[in-house]
Amino acid sequence: MLTKLMKHVSALEKKVLELHEELEENNRASANLLRLGVVVKAEANTVDIQTGDNLVKRIPFFVLAAGRVSHYRRPSVNEQCLLMNLGSGDNLNNAVALMGLPSTHFQSPTVKENEVMTDYGNGMSELYNLDDGSLICRYPGGMKIYGDTWQDGDYQATGEVTDHTRSMQADREIYNEHEHPGILPGPAKTKPTEQQQ
């Protein structure tokens, strides 16, 4: 009877050790499921991420859209991310990087609840105010539109307005100084227009 009891205890001990080992493996896997990381290298569609002592190379990163509508932004070196391990265990090579976590290195461009802002760097930004519906765009390098434009409302410019021929100011100068030869008999010309453009 004692021998039978010892065999049973030995079998239970073996099972407990197996369960302990399985629990340890599950703990390691869950610890690597989600991790914070920092971009150390960015390529066209992959990044190298430093997470703790681990360097994970050439893993894909999330973009805003990648279907019929697509969007691309290459992550920045030192940008913080969330590393999601799609595999199991300690191997992070099956992970993907979810970008866009603000950090002390790359802070949020605004923290006001009524503002949506994209800061592209180098002075270029777009700021939309949710309360009054205004949009302020700063494009220090200019903006080109390929296509027809239509506007319902006033248009104001602090600089020149120019078409394919000349500026509006050049047209004003021509109009304001133009003469009408040949209208009056003889060599006389009419005076410049009284109404300025």
Mean pLDDT of 154-172: 88
83 and 49 co-located in one domain = yes
User: In the listed set 51, 86, 101, which residue is the last one of a domain according to the structure?
Assistant: 101
Instruction: From 99, 101, 92, 93, select the one nearest 75 (Cα to Cα).
Output: 99
Mean pLDDT of 34-49: 96
Determine the structural domain holding residue 75 and report its residue range. Answer: 32-101
Check if the beta carbon of residue 101 is closer than 8 Å to that of residue 81. Answer: yes
How many domains does the structure of the chain reveal?
2
Question: Does 120 map to a domain?
Answer: no
Give the torsion through C-alpha atoms of 84, 88, 89, 94, to 10 deg. -60
Please tell me the predicted confidence (pLDDT) of residue 134: 97
3-class DSSP state of 5: helix
Mean pLDDT of 56-63: 94
What confidence category does residue 175 fall into, taking pLDDT thresholds of 50, 70 and 90?
Answer: confident
- The rounded mean pLDDT for the chain is 86
Mean pLDDT of 58-68: 94
7 and 49 co-located in one domain = no
